[in-house]
Structure 1
Amino acid sequence: MDVSARRELPPSMVERITLIMDVFEGCTVRRSLEDVARTTHLPRSTAHRILDQLVRLRWLEHNGFGYGLGRRALGLGGGDGSQGRIREAAATRLHHLQMRTGMVVHLAVLDGAEVHYLDKAGGRFASSVPSRVGGRAPAHCTALGKAMLAWLEPEEVEQRAGNSINRQTQRTISDIGTLHQELHRIRQRRGLAFERGECFPGIACVATAIRGPEGPVAAISLVGDADMPLEKVAPLVADGARQVSADLFPSPDGPDRTPRRAAAVTPEETWSPQTMDRLLAVGQYGDWQ
């Protein structure tokens, strides 16, 4: 057998499975059989056979919207399962936000002084944003992190972030006093957190925390370039986070109960134009520092 013939041999089964699993870069991603075959360059029949096997083994799931990551894949590193529950509750909202805005959407939880990305959706634009599912970033310079830190007691904020405040860019908050001031402004805006070029130059985000009875459990953000008027999409992020909170904590003692002192301001159920005008008046030019 000559060299050219050997090069035309299909990859091993492990390589084929890896090619297919790499197509699903987030738990909200849905792909058709045609998408998988085109992206992996596998024959359609081969891709279909492997997809069916992965569905039977629960690495993938299949419904009317296509194939997506299954319980076994999402359970890797899932700890007590709470992260999987958050992903499941947020999946539809993230998809709707991405489809409605065309922007990159993040779902993250707070882990010490960092945010841990649970999901990312954004189609072909996602590669332009330097984040990844399973990756981490400093909480004090991301909208996601600040949205969650804002609902913690000041002592806990200092315990988590006080010794980890380092500059990522020229716009990064660099001391705990300034961070507390920023978190106060976020609470005044009923939980809306913004950042423009604080974590990565040229990247801007707006985020809101998903809150439970004991404080923030996660946060959702929309990401665009530094010049994008994020104020226009801020109400969509706020409503999405509120809806996920209601799904996760449906009882009357759920997300609107505020046992922590920092959470004295409770988000309104709806975001009218008048409310947004009041909340965003202090930041109409995009300078949230």
Structure 2
Amino acid sequence: MVERMTLILDAFDGGASRLTLEEVACRTGLPRSTVHRILDQMVRLDWVDHASFGYCLGRRAKSLSHGDNGHTRIREAAAHLLHELHLQTGMVVHLAVLDRGDCVYLDKLGGQLAATLTSRVGGRAPAYTTACGKAILAGLAPEQVDSLYGPRLERRTDRTIADLSTLHQELNRIRQRRGLAFENGEAMAGMACVGAAVRSPEGPIAGISLCGPARPGHLERVAPLVADVARDVSRTLYPELGAPRRGRRPADAPQQSWSPHAMERLLATQSGRWM
């Protein structure tokens, strides 16, 4: 069994490799039925992930090949941009990655305001309760989201999304807003957040959010800044996505990159939870 598992893992060229069942069987020389049975076991143990496109390396396999799964690299690429974002807005900034169905926080900046939030570096929260988590989930295929949760979702507050169907509706709204995710009191009563995903060429790898006391109209004003920072971190990590922007505008004038008309159209698709 160990020899066959090794053959299957070796069939993947790297962390971004995606193979169908037939391709794995062809590369390993093993019978298709044997490969299917072993892959099912490896999916359950997180060595391999299964989605609509086929199979790819899972969390455990990637962590072995990349040490901390690339988290240090993400933190280093984002650090100065997160600091700048906090200085521009005065809000709490989070950097998080998806682990199973949870957000795991890699970084948190925010001075005294940060102490009022329950989040902490290394801590977890259900991804569907947070803006950065929902931004990441919106970049996944629906069946991948289905594999993370059951039909009923645990509530953190009376505003938390409580079922998978409603979550899919919210993720569709986020996609219509070009990846901007909002939450208002879904993770912690009285606090609101806006988030966007950091992306690789294969999909979302992290999320960035701004959080603070819920105030009407405030999130709309800072949302373009979050989107710009997430885009710049993505381009820093993956230069093929384009060169990072320079000289970002201050928090009181984000309209240069997102016009008022564009924001009005994006925010017209909001769910009503965060307004």
Segments of structure 2 that go 5 or more residues without pairing to the other structure are 1-65, 244-255
Deviation at 1:286, TM superposition (A): 5.6
2:87 equivalent to 1:135: no
**Secondary structure at the counterpart of residue 265 of structure 2:** helix
2:234 equivalent to 1:287: no
**Secondary structure at the counterpart of residue 221 of structure 1:** strand
2:235 equivalent to 1:246: yes
Q: Which residue of 2 aligns with 1:161?
A: 149
Pick from 102, 109, 132: which aligns with 1:114?
Answer: 102
Whichever of the two has the greater Rg, that structure is 1
Q: Deviations over 1:37-84 (max 9, x none)?
A: xxxxxxxxxxxxxxxxxxxxxxxxxxxxxxxxxxxxxxxxx8345000
Deviation at 1:178, TM superposition (A): 0.4
Q: Deviations over 1:164-191 (max 9, x none)?
A: 7211111111111000000000000000
User: 1:287 corresponds to which letter in structure 2?
Assistant: R
Q: Which residue of 2 aligns with 1:232?
A: 221
User: 1:198 corresponds to which letter in structure 2?
Assistant: E
Q: Which residue of 1 aligns with 2:14?
A: none
Pick from 269, 272, 287: which aligns with 2:259?
Answer: 272
Q: Which residue of 2 aligns with 1:221?
A: 209
Pick from 187, 190, 205: which aligns with 2:175?
Answer: 187
Matched-pair contact (CA < 8 Å) for 1:150–1:191 = yes
Q: Which residue of 1 aligns with 2:88?
A: 100
Query: 1:104 and 1:253 mapped to 2: Cα distance?
Result: 27
**Secondary structure at the counterpart of residue 233 of structure 1:** helix
**Secondary structure at the counterpart of residue 99 of structure 1:** helix
Matched-pair contact (CA < 8 Å) for 2:235–2:242 = no
Matched-pair contact (CA < 8 Å) for 2:177–2:269 = no
Matched-pair contact (CA < 8 Å) for 1:109–1:115 = yes
Query: 1:82 and 1:282 mapped to 2: Cα distance?
Result: 34
Deviation at 1:89, TM superposition (A): 0.4
Deviation at 1:227, TM superposition (A): 2.5
Q: Which residue of 2 aligns with 1:175?
A: 163
Query: 2:102 and 2:93 mapped to 1: Cα distance?
Result: 18
Q: Deviations over 1:123-180 (max 9, x none)?
A: 1211011110000000111111110000100000010123672111111111110000
Q: Normalising by structure 1, report the TM-score.
A: 0.64
Deviation at 1:271, TM superposition (A): 2.4
Pick from 159, 183, 186: which aligns with 1:198?
Answer: 186
Query: 2:119 and 2:101 mapped to 1: Cα distance?
Result: 17
Segments of structure 1 that go 5 or more residues without pairing to the other structure are 1-77, 255-268
Query: 2:169 and 2:141 mapped to 1: Cα distance?
Result: 13
Matched-pair contact (CA < 8 Å) for 1:206–1:221 = yes
Matched-pair contact (CA < 8 Å) for 1:141–1:172 = yes
User: 1:278 corresponds to which letter in structure 2?
Assistant: R
Query: 1:241 and 1:86 mapped to 2: Cα distance?
Result: 11
Query: 2:110 and 2:181 mapped to 1: Cα distance?
Result: 20
Query: 1:213 and 1:190 mapped to 2: Cα distance?
Result: 16
